[in-house]
Amino acid sequence: LGRAGPDRARLAPSMAEPSPGPRYRVVLLGDPGVGKTSLVNLFAGVQERDLLDQHGGAAYERRLTVDGEETTLLVLDTWEPEQRSQRRSHCLQIGNAYIIVYSVTDRDSFESASELRIQLRRARQAEDIPIILVGNKTDLVRCREVSEEEGQACAAVFDCKFIETSAALQHNVDELFEGVVRQIRLRQGGKKS
């Protein structure tokens, strides 16, 4: 399981204590092996066993303060491209925001990311849901197959935000999740759920 750093413990939710501020559901999408679990582990540390059954896979919860306001993110790492189509469409329906991850060392995963973006658009046609495209594994400089510019261009075409990360170097991981919160808030115009 994840790493439980000194500052993670207080972030773990307690069932007895209601979370202050709004709670948002964020779904991780992307090919196997691109680093989804590594990213969410770094962010949230502890996997919430209580939430496992409910969502049929790995769920992580963490409170965080962004721009002075507290929020709870429930991050679902349940995506498997091979799973039944009913489960896939469930994943595409339940998120308040989506993080689509590819590996900068794997062009196929970059192409899958575009495909996922299209599926998501189809599934949530009328909605303006925040989507962040993430190029992970930037530490593997010599194995890079997808440039940062290509990632940015893809995000521009698909109308989503873009960030490059390295779970191995813990680079841009908090920035990624804070960015998700900001994107959700922007769409809600400051309204709390």
Residues between 148 and 187 that touch ligand GDP (CB under 6 A) = 166-168
CB of 30 to ligand GDP, least distance (A): 6
Q: How far is the CB of 33 from ligand GDP (least distance, A)?
A: 5
Q: How far apart are CA 162 and CA 165, in angstroms?
A: 10
Q: Among 37, 114, 119, 188, which residue sits at the site for ligand GDP (rule: CB under 6 A)?
A: 37
The Cα angle at residue 66 between residues 154 and 94, in degrees rounded to 5:
55
Residue nearest ligand GDP, CB atom distance: 35
**Rounded to an integer, what distance in angstroms lies between the CA atom of residue 127 and that of residue 184?**
12
Q: Of 108-137, which residues contact ligand GDP (CB under 6 A)?
A: 136-137
User: Please, which residues have CB within 8 angstroms of residue 61's CB and are 6 or more apart in sequence?
Assistant: 12, 13, 44, 48, 51, 72, 73, 74, 75
Rg (C-alpha) for the chain, rounded Å, is 16
Q: Is 35 in the site for ligand GDP (CB under 6 A)?
A: yes
Binding region for ligand GDP (CB under 6 A): 30, 32-38, 136-137, 139-140, 166-168
